[in-house]
Amino acid sequence: MSVPEEVAVADLVIRRLLEDDAPALQAAVLESLEHLRPWMPWVAFEPLSIDERRELLARWGREWQEGTQYGFGVFLGEQLAGVFGLHRRIGPGGLELGYWIHRRHTGRGYATQAAAALTSVAFGLPDTTHVEIHHDKANLASGRIPEKLGFRLVREESDGIEAPGETGVSCIWRVERDAWRPDAEARTLTPR
Ligand SMILES: CC(C)(COP(=O)(O)OP(=O)(O)OC[C@H]1O[C@@H](n2cnc3c(N)ncnc32)[C@H](O)[C@@H]1OP(=O)(O)O)[C@@H](O)C(=O)NCCC(=O)NCCS
């Protein structure tokens, strides 16, 4: 069983990012820098050149092949509205979901819809026992997403300040395979 390269949810197409997406990713990141800066540590290294962006996508491609990280773009038609990643960095059986949405496309439920779809993708892999979302305690918008999807807050831990908006306390939300309800996904598809 492998990770699907494309999933459609409501208005969104969620698909594997490829090197040819470098211009779209470059534009989306540069247009969203100040929106992302408080929470995303990698913004400190921006702006990347287009060649560096292409190299980054090439690395994500290798990681996809190795099964260590799956990087997806969330597309609204031709527009790249956000980037999501499923990361194998929380121990055996676990996948951590990370995300950001382009500043122009926030507040429409897209992060919640895509997070639901990718949680289902994660559980499509037979060895996945749990999916987690980690966010800084001050990042209330990010915290709403696992909460709305029925993840459980399992702990808070001090992990240091990595981006300027952070308190240094991380909230760890988890859903186990048995607790992942298809209706959690369906709920997010209800027109808002
Ligand atoms: C966090 C982020 C992905 C949310 O994307 P989005 O598409 O706007 O999310 P949704 O519309 O699905 O849901 C956001 C929820 O947060 C709520 N919210 C937004 N801003 C908020 C704030 N300042 N305080 C509290 N809640 C807030 C929204 O009301 C919504 O909840 P609701 O449905 O109960 O009303 C987006 O804001 C983002 O990219 N932020 C910068 C990067 C980032 O923080 N990534 C996550 C790192 S852990």
- Does pTM top 0.85 for this prediction? yes
Per-residue pLDDT at 186 exceeds 60: no
Query: How far is the centre of ligand 1, averaged over its atoms, from the C-alpha of 63 (Å)?
Result: 27
Tens-digit pLDDT profile for residues 104-136: 999 999 999 999 999 999 999 999 999 999 999
On whether the CB atoms of residues 149 and 131 are closer than 8 A, the answer is: no
Q: Report the phi/psi class of residue 144: left, alpha or beta, with left for phi > 0 and alpha for psi in -120 to 50.
A: alpha
* CATH number of 102's domain: 3.40.630.30
Of 14-18, 21-25, 62-66, 184-188, least confident by mean pLDDT is 184-188
pLDDT at residue number 1: 78
| Domains held by the chain: number | 1
On whether the CB atoms of residues 69 and 98 are closer than 8 A, the answer is: no
Q: Which domain holds residue 24?
A: 6-188
pLDDT at residue number 191: 40
Would you say residue 138 lies in a domain?
yes
Pick from 100, 108, 156 the residue to mutate for probing ligand 1's pocket: most ligand atoms within 8 Å of its CB: 100
Would you say residue 98 lies in a domain?
yes
Would you say residue 1 lies in a domain?
no
Pick from 43, 142, 167 the residue to mutate for probing ligand 1's pocket: most ligand atoms within 8 Å of its CB: 142
